[in-house]
Each structure stands twice: as structure tokens, then as C-alpha cells.
Amino acid sequence: MCSVPRSTSVSLCQGVMEGLLTRCRALAACSRQLSGSIPCRFHHCAPGRGKRLVLSRMFQPQNLREDQVPSLEGGSGDLTCKSQRLMLQVGLIHPASPGCYHLLPYTVRALEKLVRVIDQEMRAIGGQKVSMPSLSPAELWRATNRWDLMGKELLRLRDRHGKEYCLGPTHEEAVTALVASQKTLSYKQLPFLLYQVTRKFRDEPRPRFGLLRGREFYMKDMYTFDSSPEAARQTYGLVCDAYSSLFARLGLPCVKVQAGVGSIGGTTSHEFQLPADVGEDQFAVCPSCSFSANVETLDLSQTNCPACQGPLTETKGIEVGHTFYLGTKYSSVFNAQFTNVHGKPSLAEMGCYGLGVTRILAAAIEVLSTEDCLRWPGLLAPYQVCLIPPKKGSKEEVAAELAGHLYDHITEAVPQLRGEVLLDDRTHLTIGNRLKDANKFGYPFVIIAGKRALEAPAHYEVWCQNTGEVVFLTKEGVVGLLSQVQVV
Amino acid sequence: MCSVPRSTSVSLCQGVMEGLLTRCRALAACSRQLSGSIPCRFHHCAPGRGKRLVLSRMFQPQNLREDQVPSLEGGSGDLTCKSQRLMLQVGLIHPASPGCYHLLPYTVRALEKLVRVIDQEMRAIGGQKVSMPSLSPAELWRATNRWDLMGKELLRLRDRHGKEYCLGPTHEEAVTALVASQKTLSYKQLPFLLYQVTRKFRDEPRPRFGLLRGREFYMKDMYTFDSSPEAARQTYGLVCDAYSSLFARLGLPCVKVQAGVGSIGGTTSHEFQLPADVGEDQFAVCPSCSFSANVETLDLSQTNCPACQGPLTETKGIEVGHTFYLGTKYSSVFNAQFTNVHGKPSLAEMGCYGLGVTRILAAAIEVLSTEDCLRWPGLLAPYQVCLIPPKKGSKEEVAAELAGHLYDHITEAVPQLRGEVLLDDRTHLTIGNRLKDANKFGYPFVIIAGKRALEAPAHYEVWCQNTGEVVFLTKEGVVGLLSQVQVV
């Protein structure tokens, strides 16, 4: 099948290949042993020990003590919310263009943890991960008429041949065409739950609030294909439950509310709303029964609950998830069929489900943080532990070595914390100043080797950010406490 | 700082929040226990056991037995190479538009494993992971004159305000502007090694060979910032060594060759070439000394090694990595400075380093596979084990239960194989037919519960694809063998 012209170098090439493959396998066999002997320019290394991650080498473009926070969206402070301000201030994000941000190392760590939690929840309900191109051909969108309907929200471009594309803000068309291409699908194979976590693009008229409303952002989008409306409803419920489980694990009190279907379409839709002042949605909940709805779906005159007639209360929310029961809206356009139990072709019943991945991160910071200090869902904190050794030249300086040993001991005794413990080696600063920074960053655990580290046995001061407790513990006590920490 | 108008719902909202947070934490506490009780529609479940991954539910758009492979790039067979043909045939990729592919579930698993190996190697040399937007403002590219120089390879677009962007094929401009924004950088903080693994875009005139030359693809790009040319050279060597270590771990016999700098620029450059017939690069190696170079860097008349004068041999290769020593080419344009040891501002010395992530995957399949059967680098195989129970209605059918128990036993006794074992539950097919499929897919280990599973003790037939061995092992033997498997 390979129609590439075979050159005279073929047999040579194969001879070279064999020799190389042999050498390469030998190399592979010893690369494991070698990987411990990488030069130590980037870490503090204790001889015979693992590497220590040190704060002074982190790339964080903002100076913690500078008030000047970069903004491309108007002057400083304008249009800025708490999460955006804090994230810019401590160097989690950096503006690239309106609505587009560089995600800096701490944020990438948190984001990757969030994606792992999402993967766990999606896999648990049978989700299969795919990755669809961002470049989405115009003809797909013309088929559903959304090339026109989406208007200015679509970012459009032409390739060198003049062919039109948009940058996908969502992928109903693409995934339905993909499933439609599978010509021998049987009802026995369904449901399919296909999802991806990729960058999406939307030309927002007014991008704002940092990662809460950007033009380029990460979204988890899932598309489901079922063999009957009943099965599709069951799948819809299953995905909604997975979303509830996800938000519960993150400690985010999201509310599932009935919602409109917008440009996506379909017949049933729900939003997952995280109550917050800066939220751009308004939703109503009934304190007496389980009713809740985006106010867009209610009559303006409706102040009482349609279910129990009790008074409704309104709250602002950030939409962090959205689910749609689509029926055959897209499968009928692209002819996404399967063979049903009677041997007849039948259109797949679809659903689609979105999670704003970068938005969840910012929304969590928005609701969990104080005005001055970042707080993370425990599972998503970029580093679980910050260890502060004494100041250089202070009375406690001799405890510096103990702090190093404690670092090594933690990462040996608590394997899930490998790569999760940061040493604040800026020992020209006082413990107090570094504790203030650590508090601002929101590490779930801050451990200080101070005065009481000189006692026998040494005691370390442990700040548990998420409970507000401060305790003094021995090395064993520290390990006992930290071995409880869940890391994803 | 938050200038959003505070509505009357604020205090309500906070009351609601507190109640919700309390409920949510309680939910989170029990969600762990609940996660085992998800409905079993998507997996075979043995009571009290974990879920089993079954082949019949996998989404793989191509029928293994169909010869018709979809292609957007000319007729079937035309311009197609082995990896592209095999990947299309078994449902690893599906064409979306010229040079753009849907990555299907197996490929996403392999890709995520490759990214984990890359992350390990980059972290080991102090790499910090960032994520820069794909939308790249024209003004950045105008500053280096590459807006014009890159010509038709750049995919360009305008937003709703008429502002010009390209879709980043590489990020020297963006990352240098980012580092330049950090005004208080000291030589003590350097080097910075910033990298990302993101989608890149290049409007290839002739996209071809599947994932080997696409228009939208995953690339790992690293950018380094050093305080002196000497330090930058040291970093350059360190990254090259990390690349060599990566390819050795994957078992790919890549050759580091001297290369031209092209549109990236700089003074020194190397390519990592994987010898292969379909490779579009031609490189020369000297069998007598360590000299090797892309032929583009040699005089046409040069047939002898410039180092030892011995004869050169030429080989075709696939470029899987590329490194550049940039000096101050970009830092001088964007004024990326640091304060040097004398307290004076000084321009950062830069390097940039690329790995074609999707290309490495396809290139590995290209060189490791036979004409008919896919082979993976062991570390990257989407699933490590395929377990084949007997055919329904056959004499061996009673061994079906044993196969199920073996599945559970493996995933319990070898924790790193959880999620890595697939049960081929298509028991309407013979063992022989399913073995043929398994061989085509290239699972590193195929385990068959056939005739000898009825012996006491049961013996299973184990095919080790990468060594070509077939052995009969008891349950304990299987576990002993599989516990050696490295999973990333």
C-alpha cells in the first residue's frame, strides 16, 4: 500500500535501523538507573536523596508585593473580580490578549489535577476520551445552519486554498458526523459516551473576569448516543449525577437548575450554577421543594414556585456546567444511524454535556478565597505542602537541616506527596514574611521549622489552611497528618 | 477591588452558600464510598469486584475486516504510508479535514502516556509547564518580522473588532514577551525552562501521511532563558540529553544530527531523526565517527565526513525533535532582561526545543509495525493486556468464568495494570479470529483462556508481542510475568 518511491537507501536504512534498535534497547534498559543522576542545577539535592522542589526557582511573573497587576481589560481594578485579581497578583495567569491568558505553572498543575478528577468521573460512567480538531470545516456548520446562527461568536478563517473554517466553540456537528461515518453500528454497542477536554474558542463581545469569561478556554464536552429516548434519558441522568459527584468532590456547592437550550437546541437542559456575586446568571431556588431554574426560563411575573407555590428566592451564579437532551436534532442532519433490535436503521438519540474547565478553576477560587488570600479545592491545590525553614542568620538557623530532612522524610514516607511538597528556600526573608506569602498562595498545609524545631524531639508548626487550625507536631505527627491527604 | 454592582441578593447568596457548603462537604465525604456503586450499564461487573473493560463497547469507527479505509487525501492507498493506513484501519484516527484528524480513544490513551513520559523527562531537568493561547496577536509576529516571513504557513484570522491574529505554530514571540513582562528578574532565578504541550497549527501546502504531517497537531515546545552564553549551552546540552533519554525509553533509535535553523533562527540547531523510508528528511551519518547531519547543511559535493574524511552514508528520516540555540535573537526584540551579577540589566540567552508529539506516535508505529500489524513502544500501548475468553458454545466455554476471575486477579494483584486490561467479550467469534485482531492491534500481552485452561491447575496461553514468545502459564505465572510490566 505504501506508494512512496523506494530509494536505494532502503536496505542501508534497514541495516542502520537494526543496529540502532539494538543499541537503543540497551540504552533503554539502563536509562532507568541513569535518571537519578541528572545534574542538580535546578533543585537542591541532598546526596543520595531525591530532589527538593524549591520556591525560588518557580516562574511566577508577578511580584507578590507589587500592587500593579497587569490588565488588558481597562484600567487596574476595572471589570476585575476577586479571582482574576488574586490570580494575576500571585502569578497564576498573565494576560496575552483580550480574553486570552497564559496559564502559568501553578495553574497548569491545578488544571491537570482537575482534568484527572473529570477523567475519573467520566470513565466511571463509561466515557471514552477522544480529541477532535479545533479547525472545524464550514460545511459541517452550514449543514445545521449554525454557520449563520452563531454570528459573530464564531472565529472564522480561510486556509491557503480559500476553504472556510471556524475554531470550534463546541462539537455537536463534528462528533455526529464522526459517529455517522461508522456504518455498521448496532444497538448492542450503544450507548457511546464520547468526550474530550480541549481548548474552545468564542469571540465574546466583552471578555472579562479573567478565566471566568475568556475567548479561548478549556472545556470538557461530552456527546452521548443512545438507541432510544428512554435509554438517552437514563444516560442524561447518569451524566448529571457524575457532574454532581464531581462538584461534591471539589467541595463546590453547585446547584442544578432548569435552563434554556440556546443555540445548542434540544428539549431539556440543565445548568450547574455555583452561587457567586460575580456570577452573570440569575437563578431561582425554592427553599421548600427541590425546584430551581435559571430566571430566563421563568415568566417575568413568576415569583412563586411552579411546583409548590412557595416563594422563590433569587441568587446569582456562575454557570460551570450545562447539559442538553438533544433527541435527533443533529443525528437526523448527519444521518447518524444504528441498526435497531428489529434489524432496521434508526437515528441515534443524543445528549451533550459541557464543563467549563478553566472556568471551574477560577470559579472555585472566586468562592473559596478571601479578599486577600487564595483558597483552592483541596484536591486541586497545585502543591499540597509548603515547608518553611528558618531565616538565614537567625537563632533557629540550625533547624534548617532538620527542615531538609523533614522534606525528604515526608516524600519518602507519604508516596502520594512526591512532587507535592515545596521548600520555601528564600531564607533571606523572615519566617513571618514567607508565612504571609504561603497564606496568600493557599497551600493546604504550611509547615514551619521555627523555635520549637530545636526542642528534643523537634516540633513543627503546621497550618492547616482549609480548617484554620495550627498545631505543633513531631516528625511522626506530621507524617501521620499528611498521610491522610488525598492527592489526585 | 471588585467593581461589580452588589445586588440585594448578596446576603441571601452568602446564606445560601454556607448551607450549601456544609451539605456539599458531607456529600464529598461519602462520594468516595458511593463511587463503587455506579450502575453497570457500561461494563461487565462481577459482584463485589471492580469493573471489567470490555472490547465490544469501544468506539472504533473502522471495522477491522473492512478494506475500505477513509481518506480525504486522494484515493485509497495514494499518498498513504503504513502508519496512516494501519491507524485508519483499526480505528485509531479518523479524517476530519485535510491534515486534521479526530484522535479516537486508543490514540488518546497512547498520547496521554507519551505526554506523561515527556513530562517526567522535562521535570527531571527543571522544566516548568505552562500553557499559552493558540490565538497569537499579529503585533507579536510583526515585531520579529515573522508575520511576513512565515507567509502562507500561518493560519490568520480577524476577531469581531478586526484585530489580526494567527494560530500559533510556535511560540518564541509569546514566551519572550511573557518573560520580558517580569521586570524584577535576577540572574539567581535563571535558568527558566518553560514548556507546554499544546495544539499547533501550520497550513501545510500538502498535508500527508496521517499524523506525520498534519495541519493541526500536538507539539511539546520548550523555551529556555539563561544568564550567559555558557549557561545557555549547558542548558542546550541538558535538553538534548533529555530528548535522547526519552527516545531511548520509547525504544526508538533516533539520531541527533546537525541541522539548519530555518525560520526559527539562532546559531546552532540539531534534529532528532528517526530513520524510516517515508521520512521526508535526508541525513548523512559517518559510520567511523560520531558525525551526522541533515544533508541540507552539507555541500552538494560533500560525500566524505568533514570530521574524519571517511565516506558518509545517507538515510531518510522522520524529524521527531528539533533544538535551537537562539542567543538573543528574540530577547533583544522584546527586551527580555534580567539583572546580572554586577547589578546591570542584561539580555537573556535563549534556546527553543520542539518535540512533535502526535508525530512521535505515528513515527513509532511506522517503524515498529509490520505491514499488517500495529506495534507500539511498550510504554505507550493504549492497553497492556488483552484477555480472550473461549467462544460461546465451544468445548472450552466453561473456562469463561476462569477468564473473568483471571481478569479480576490481575487487576488486584498488579495495581499498575488497573485500567490496562481489556476483555475481548466478542465471544460469538472464535479464539483464532480474536487473536488475529489482537495481533493487529498490538497489545503487548495477549492472554487466551483456551483448552489448557481446563487443566488442573489452569494454564493460560500468553503471547508476548514485543518478544514474539508464546508461553503457557498458571494464574500465578501470569501475575509474575505481568508484574514486570512498566506502565507510565
CA distance A160 to chain B (A): 6
The pLDDT of residue B92: 95
Q: Which of A194, A117, A171 is nearest to B58 (CA)?
A: A194
Contacting residues of A for B81, CB less than 8 Å apart: 2, 4
What pLDDT, in 10s, does the model give residues B389-410? 999 999 999 999 999 999 999 9
What pLDDT, in 10s, does the model give residues B156-189? 999 999 999 999 999 999 999 999 998 889 999 9
Q: Which of B392, B425, B391 is nearest to B42 (CA)?
A: B425
Nearby residues of A185 by Cβ (< 8 Å), 6 or more positions away = A179, A337, A338, A339, A348
- Our measurement of the distance from residue B36's CA atom to the centroid of its chain's CA atoms, rounded to an integer in Å, reads 31
The pLDDT of residue A60: 82
Contacting residues of B for A156, CB less than 8 Å apart: 157
Q: Choose among B178, B215, B277: nearest Cβ to A13.
A: B277
Using the beta-carbon criterion (under 8 Å), do A17 and B367 form an inter-chain contact?
yes
Chain B: residue whose CA lies nearest to A115: B112
Give CA angle at B100 (B96, B106), nearest 5°: 80
Q: Choose among A78, A155, A178: nearest Cβ to B61.
A: A178
What pLDDT, in 10s, does the model give residues A219-265? 999 999 999 999 999 999 999 999 999 999 999 999 999 998 888 88
B295 against B10, higher pLDDT: B295
Chain A: residue whose CA lies nearest to B171: A102
What pLDDT, in 10s, does the model give residues B198-222? 999 999 998 999 999 999 999 999 9
Question: Cell 479571582 belongs to which residue?
Answer: A83
- The pLDDT mean for chain A works out to 88
Using the beta-carbon criterion (under 8 Å), do B245 and A34 form an inter-chain contact?
yes
The pLDDT of residue B4: 34
Count of C-beta atoms within a 10 Å radius of residue A380: 22
The per-residue DSSP string of A10-44 comes to HHHHHHHHHHHHHHHHHHHHHHHHHGGG---TTSE
**In which region does residue B347 sit, left (phi positive, over 0), alpha (psi from -120 to 50) or beta (all else)?**
beta
Confidence of residue A49 (pLDDT cuts 50, 70, 90): very low
ipTM metric? 0.90
CA distance B459 to chain A (A): 30
Q: Are A352 and A166 in contact (CB under 8 A)?
A: no
pLDDT of B46 above 60: no
Count of C-beta atoms within a 10 Å radius of residue A6: 11
Residues of chain A with CATH 3.30.930.10: 105-367
Chain A: residue whose CA lies nearest to B225: A59
- Our measurement of the distance from residue A12's CA atom to the centroid of its chain's CA atoms, rounded to an integer in Å, reads 48
Nearby residues of A246 by Cβ (< 8 Å), 6 or more positions away = A117, A118, A121, A355
Confidence of residue B69 (pLDDT cuts 50, 70, 90): low
Inter-chain CB pairs, A–B, below 8 Å: 301
Average pLDDT over residues B29-49: 43
The pLDDT of residue A33: 37
The pLDDT of residue B222: 98
Chain B: residue whose CA lies nearest to A197: B108
pLDDT of B65 above 90: no
CA distance A455 to chain B (A): 34
Q: Which of A383, A361, A366, A358 is nearest to A465 (CA)?
A: A383
CATH architecture observed for domain B52-56+383-482: 3-Layer(aba) Sandwich (3.40)
Q: Which of A119, A157, A181 to mutate to test the interface with B (most CBs of B within 10 A)?
A: A157
CATH architecture observed for domain A105-367: 2-Layer Sandwich (3.30)
The pLDDT of residue B139: 98
pLDDT of A38 above 80: no
The pLDDT of residue B457: 95
Residue type, A244: S
Using the beta-carbon criterion (under 8 Å), do A7 and B316 form an inter-chain contact?
yes
Using the beta-carbon criterion (under 8 Å), do B108 and A96 form an inter-chain contact?
no
Query: What is the distance between the alpha carbons of residues B135 and B116, in angstroms, rounded to a whole number?
Result: 25
Using the beta-carbon criterion (under 8 Å), do A199 and B201 form an inter-chain contact?
no
The pLDDT of residue A302: 77
Residues of chain B with CATH 3.40.50.800: 52-56+383-482
Average pLDDT over residues A458-476: 94
Q: Choose among B38, B189, B255: nearest Cβ to A124.
A: B38
The pLDDT of residue B324: 97
What pLDDT, in 10s, does the model give residues B103-150? 999 999 999 999 999 999 999 999 999 999 999 999 999 999 999 999
Using the beta-carbon criterion (under 8 Å), do A1 and B85 form an inter-chain contact?
yes
Contacting residues of B for A216, CB less than 8 Å apart: 133-135
Chain A: residue whose CA lies nearest to B280: A4
Using the beta-carbon criterion (under 8 Å), do B156 and A160 form an inter-chain contact?
no
Chain A: residue whose CA lies nearest to B200: A134
A63 against B177, higher pLDDT: B177
Q: Choose among B3, B129, B181: nearest Cβ to A79.
A: B3
CA distance B458 to chain A (A): 32
Confidence of residue B14 (pLDDT cuts 50, 70, 90): very low
A304 against A326, higher pLDDT: A326
What pLDDT, in 10s, does the model give residues A81-113? 999 999 999 999 999 999 999 999 999 999 999
Contacting residues of A for B70, CB less than 8 Å apart: 181
Average pLDDT over residues B233-261: 96
Confidence of residue B43 (pLDDT cuts 50, 70, 90): low
Using the beta-carbon criterion (under 8 Å), do A57 and B189 form an inter-chain contact?
yes
Beta strands in B302-396 (DSSP E): 313-327, 337-339, 345-347, 349-356, 385-388
Check whether the bond before A345 is cis (ω within 30° of 0).
no
What pLDDT, in 10s, does the model give residues B316-352? 999 999 999 999 999 999 999 999 999 999 999 999 9
The pLDDT of residue B70: 56
Using the beta-carbon criterion (under 8 Å), do A20 and B188 form an inter-chain contact?
no
Q: Choose among B42, B159, B203: nearest Cβ to A159.
A: B203
Contacting residues of A for B129, CB less than 8 Å apart: 105, 108-109
The pLDDT of residue A43: 52
Candidates 1.10.3720.10, 3.40.50.800, 3.30.1150.10, 3.30.460.80; correct CATH number of A383-482? 3.40.50.800
Confidence of residue B77 (pLDDT cuts 50, 70, 90): very low
Grid cell, residue B139, equals: 503585533
Using the beta-carbon criterion (under 8 Å), do A133 and B96 form an inter-chain contact?
yes
Average pLDDT over residues A331-351: 97
Chain B: residue whose CA lies nearest to A77: B1
What are the Cα distances from residue B444, in Å, to A26, A220, A245, B242, B435? 19, 31, 35, 26, 13
B13 against A448, higher pLDDT: A448
Average pLDDT over residues B279-285: 93
Contacting residues of B for A131, CB less than 8 Å apart: 102-103, 107-108, 111
| Interstrand relation of B156-158 and A216-226 (parallel, antiparallel or unpaired) | unpaired
What pLDDT, in 10s, does the model give residues B410-420? 999 999 999 99
Q: Choose among B39, B124, B371: nearest Cβ to A38.
A: B124
Q: Choose among B3, B31, B103: nearest Cβ to A78.
A: B3
The pLDDT of residue A290: 85
Contacting residues of A for B15, CB less than 8 Å apart: none
Average pLDDT over residues A145-159: 97
Chain A: residue whose CA lies nearest to B61: A182
Using the beta-carbon criterion (under 8 Å), do A13 and B182 form an inter-chain contact?
no
Using the beta-carbon criterion (under 8 Å), do B133 and A100 form an inter-chain contact?
yes
Contacting residues of A for B156, CB less than 8 Å apart: 157
Contacting residues of B for A97, CB less than 8 Å apart: 133, 135, 137, 163, 165
**Dihedral over alpha carbons A438, A443, A445, A450 (to 10 degrees):** -20
Chain A: residue whose CA lies nearest to B39: A125
Using the beta-carbon criterion (under 8 Å), do A82 and B152 form an inter-chain contact?
no
Average pLDDT over residues A288-309: 88
Residues of chain A with CATH 3.40.50.800: 383-482
pLDDT of A326 above 50: yes
Contacting residues of B for A58, CB less than 8 Å apart: 128
What pLDDT, in 10s, does the model give residues A268-292? 999 999 999 999 999 999 988 989 9
| Interstrand relation of B313-327 and B349-356 (parallel, antiparallel or unpaired) | antiparallel
The pLDDT of residue A183: 84
Query: What is the distance between the alpha carbons of residues B18 and B33, in angstroms, rounded to a whole number?
Result: 24
Contacting residues of B for A253, CB less than 8 Å apart: 17, 20-21, 23-24
The pLDDT of residue A70: 56
Give CA angle at B34 (A479, B403), nearest 5°: 95
Q: Choose among A80, A179, A234: nearest Cβ to B1.
A: A80
The pLDDT of residue B303: 81
Question: Cell 450545562 belongs to which residue?
Answer: A322
Q: Choose among B35, B193, B285: nearest Cβ to A124.
A: B35
- The pLDDT mean for chain B works out to 88
Contacting residues of A for B278, CB less than 8 Å apart: 2, 4
pLDDT of A20 above 70: no
CA distance A232 to chain B (A): 12
Confidence of residue A411 (pLDDT cuts 50, 70, 90): very high
Contacting residues of B for A191, CB less than 8 Å apart: 41-42
Contacting residues of B for A12, CB less than 8 Å apart: 313-315
For B289-312, what is the HEC assignment?
A: CCCEEEHHHCCCCCCECCCCCCEC
Using the beta-carbon criterion (under 8 Å), do A82 and B1 form an inter-chain contact?
yes
Using the beta-carbon criterion (under 8 Å), do B251 and A28 form an inter-chain contact?
yes
Grid cell, residue B44, equals: 461487565
